[in-house]
Amino acid sequence: MNKTLFIKTYGCQMNVYDSARMADVLAPLGYRPVDSPQGADMVILNTCHIREKAAEKVFSELGRLKRFQREKASSGGRMLIGVAGCVGQAEGSEILRRAPQVDLVLGPQTYHRLPELVARVLRSGSRAGLLDTEFPVESKFDHLPEEAAPRGPAAFLSVQEGCDKFCTFCVVPYTRGAEFSRPVAEVVAEAERLVAAGTAEITLVGQNVNAYHGAAPDGASWGLGRLLCRLAQIDGLERLRYTTSHPRDMDDELIAAHGELDKLMPYLHLPLQSGADPVLNAMNRRHTADDYRRIVERLRAARPDLALSSDFIVGFPGETDRDFAETLRLVAEIGFAQAYCFKYSPRPGTPAAVSAGQVPEAVKADRLAALQSLLSAQQLAFNRGCEGRTMSVLLERTGRRSGQLVGRSPYMQAVHVAAPRRLLGRIAAVRMDRGLANSLAGTILGELPGTSSSGSCPADREAVA
Ligand code: SAM
Ligand code: SF4
């Protein structure tokens, strides 16, 4: 481990997972992760293309990196700069043209080839950057080594990639490629390794994670509900989550899992995007506002304390004041514990970018402010409603104040407590004292014992009966 590697991650949880995997791939070459790009032997920007702003950030960061690259060269070293992720996939040639300091560009499906790419860059005398943005026939997962380092108390595990839904605003089907699910045995093995290395909470990630349909050892294709049930049987794994889901793929088995699996946390991110049917239709979301209402009703029937989070886009082409009022009405009716809202950002190559009825920026800004204010009020009310309750909190990291630890409640709220460092990575019972806008402050009541594995899955029980 004599070379240093700095990876900067933008965007979604898939990218967080991919960055950790890139570090795994580069570890056998002697690269050790560091916290700063200054002086590093390799810097990788793992990028996001979902909105224009996210993509722009890459070019300004590449500008900043030029100085570090020059400093490294003047001390006789060489800093390799790589661009990975969805901007690499979508704008690879443009990056090499505009940013000659970049040595290699790769897409989300080719990072298992990093060692080969690095070797080619180092061998070739020329400074011309190399590009690998194919969608290879082989799956990257077949070529990734085991984790080089423990992932900590809470970890992401990618089970599904790509998307076939083609929402008219979204670049993902073009940058991540077609939908693909990892086989069950591979996911279980990775989860077991994470738990053996100290992880207590696993979040299954995928662009459309609940479209999961992985090949199982019994020859069947398992949906996400069945997979969660299998993972809940792993001793030492205390908590399970999954993200991001599409309302269309909330099937019966998955909804039932929310009622049956104690380890599945009572919090679900279920993007709605808009509360108006004409907009949902123009977005090609393939569900109505009423469909969403019904899914939420069924989820709450299965798990009454389920808290919901969501994504919204305001100012989608053709969105009228009336459509937007429908979104506000549905948000008020459902009640979200947390949510993200975005101004619609036209993305090159997507149908909505060239559709009529583009909404002026000022209107988007007004709608964003109105929706954000409603969602913030709901979040604060939810957090305040937790005051006085005792909840289990997984203590994940140290806080800014000395003697402070920060963890997550079952509802994904950040919880600040005064606690000894020895409790890092443990689950504690915490009394919630104060609910704030984005977090809670609590008091530790004691450490909680680990739960045992969660019995058998309903489908296995049926088979025995
Ligand atoms: N697969 C998820 C789903 O179906 O809802 C969404 C994944 S996407 C990576 C995350 C969020 O980014 C979306 O839910 C959407 O709200 C937002 N988003 C995607 N494209 C966008 C665009 N062109 N402009 C603004 N927001 C966008
Ligand atoms: Fe993008 Fe999600 Fe739609 Fe797929 S389902 S196109 S990832 S928004």
pLDDT at 55: 79
- The pLDDT confidence band at residue 422, using thresholds 50, 70 and 90, is very high
pLDDT band at 387 (very low <50, low <70, confident <90, very high): very high
336 Cα: distance to centroid of ligand 1 (angstroms): 17
- Residues 159, 224: Cα–Cα separation, whole Å: 9
pLDDT per residue over 398-413, tens digit each?
999 999 999 999 999 9
Instruction: Give the pLDDT of residue 100.
Output: 93
When pLDDT is cut at 50, 70 and 90, the band that residue 54 belongs to is confident
Closest CA to 209 of 265, 172, 174, 163: 163
**Ligand at shortest distance from the CA of 246:** 1
User: What would the pLDDT profile of 95-142 be if each residue is shown by its tens digit?
Assistant: 999 999 999 999 999 999 999 999 999 888 777 789 999 888 788 999
Q: For position 458, what pLDDT does the model report? A: 67
pLDDT above 70: residue 464: no
Q: What is the per-residue pLDDT for 138? A: 82
More confident position, 57 or 314: 314
What's the pLDDT at 450? 79
207-250 pLDDT tens trace: 999 999 999 999 999 999 999 999 999 999 999 999 999 999 99
Q: Is 246 in the pocket of ligand 2 (CB under 6 A)?
A: yes
For residue 246, give the ligand 1 atom closest to its CA.
4
pLDDT at 302 over 70: yes
DSSP β-ladder status, 130-132 and 154-158: unpaired
Distance CA 417, CA 16 (A): 26
DSSP string of 132-168, one letter each residue = E----SS-GGGTPPPPSS---SEEEEE-EE--S---T
Å from CA of 28 to ligand 2 middle = 35
Phi, psi angle pair for 144, to nearest 5° = -85, 140
What percentage of the chain exceeds 70 in pLDDT?
A: 97
pLDDT, residue 170, reads 97
What's the whole-number mean pLDDT along residues 57-78?
94
Specify the residue with its C-alpha closest to ligand 1, atom 4: 246
Q: Ligand 2, from 13, 48, 50, 163: best to mutate by most atoms within 8 Å of Cβ? A: 163
pLDDT at residue 4, as a whole number: 97
Cβ of 207 less than 6 Å from ligand 2: yes
Residue 173 Cβ < 6 Å to ligand 2: yes
| d(CA 124, ligand 2 centre) in Å | 39
Mean pLDDT, rounded, of the chain: 95
What pLDDT does 435 receive? 98
Top mutation candidate among 159, 170, 336 for ligand 1, by most atoms within 8 Å of CB? 170
From the CB of 170, is ligand 2 less than 6 Å away?
Answer: yes
